[in-house]
Chain A
Amino acid sequence: MSSLPTTFFGWVGFILDKYGTLFLSGVGVTLLVAITGTVIGFVIGLLVAILRTIPVAPRDPWYRRMPLRVLSALLNVYIEVFRGTPMIVQAMVIYYGSMQMGLRMPVLVAAVLIVSVNTGAYMAEIVRGGIISVDKGQKEAACAIGMTHWQSMVHVVLPQAVRNIMPSIGNEFVVNIKDSSVLNVISVNELFFMSKSAAGTYLRYFEVFFITACIYLALTFTVTRLLRLLERKMDGKTNYIIYGSQSDSKASIVVPKEGGVPND
Chain B
Amino acid sequence: MTDAPILSVSHLKKSFGEHEVLRDISFDVSQGDVVSIIGASGSGKSTLLRCINFLEQPTAGTILFQGKNAETQWSRAQYHARVGMVFQSFNLFGNMSVLKNCVVGQMKVLGRARREAEEKALMYLEKVGMAPYRDARPAQLSGGQQQRVAIARALAMDPEVLLFDEPTSALDPEMVGEVLGVMRDLAASGLTMLVVTHEMAFARDVSRRVIFMDAGVIAEDGAPQDIFVHPRQARTREFLSRILQK
Contacts and interface: CB of A to CB of B under 8 A. Distances in A.
A138 B93 contact: yes
Given A140-B55, A146-B76, A147-B77, A236 B87 contact: no
Contacts of A241: 135
Interface string A229-245: 00000001000111111
Interface string B74-112: 001111110011010111111101000000110011100
B84 A144 contact: yes
Interface residues of A, number: 32
Contact of A155 (B78, B79, B90, B104): B104
B57 interface: yes
Contacts of A236: 137
Given A240-B133, A240-B140, A245-B132, A143 B55 contact: yes
Interface in B108-167: 108-110, 131-137, 139-140, 150, 153-154, 157
A141 interface: yes
Contacts of A257: 139-140
B135 A156 contact: no
B108 A155 contact: yes
Nearest to B83: A144
A59 B57 contact: yes
B53 interface: yes
Contacts of A137: 87, 89-91
Contacts of A143: 55, 80
Interface string A49-75: 000000001110000000000000000
A12 B178 CA distance: 72
Nearest to B85: A144
A142 interface: yes
Contact of A156 (B55, B89, B95, B153): B95
A255 B141 CA distance: 9
Contacts of A243: 131-135
Contact of A145 (B95, B109, B140): B109
B95 A159 contact: yes
A111 to B, nearest CB: 35
B75 to A, nearest CB: 9
Contact of B140 (A141, A245, A258): A258
Contact of B108 (A57, A147, A160): A147
A151 B104 CA distance: 10
B80 A156 contact: no
A34 B202 CA distance: 60
B137 A240 contact: yes
Nearest to A252: B135
A129 B55 CA distance: 22
Interface in A131-190: 135, 137-138, 140-148, 151, 155-156, 159-160, 163
A106 interface: no
A84 interface: no
A145 B105 contact: yes
A158 B162 CA distance: 27
Nearest to B157: A145
Contacts of B81: 145-146
Nearest to B109: A146
Contacts of B55: 140, 143-144
Contacts of B136: 240, 242, 255
A141 B78 contact: no
A259 interface: yes
Nearest to B78: A146
A255 B145 CA distance: 15
A160 B132 contact: no
A59 B14 CA distance: 13
Contact of B94 (A144, A151, A160, A240): A160
Given A57-B57, A245-B132, A258-B139, A146 B93 contact: no
Contacts of B57: 57-59
Contacts of A151: 108-109
Nearest to B59: A59
Nearest to B94: A160
Closest 4 CB pairs of A and B: A146-B80, A141-B91, A145-B105, A137-B91
15 contacts: A140-B55, A141-B85, A141-B93, A143-B80, A145-B80, A146-B79, A146-B80, A146-B109, A146-B110, A155-B93, A155-B104, A240-B136, A241-B135, A255-B140, A258-B140
Interface of A: 57-59, 135, 137-138, 140-148, 151, 155-156, 159-160, 163, 236, 240-245, 255, 257-259
Given A137-B91, A155-B93, A243-B135, 9 more contacts: A135-B91, A143-B80, A145-B80, A145-B153, A146-B79, A155-B104, A156-B95, A242-B133, A243-B132
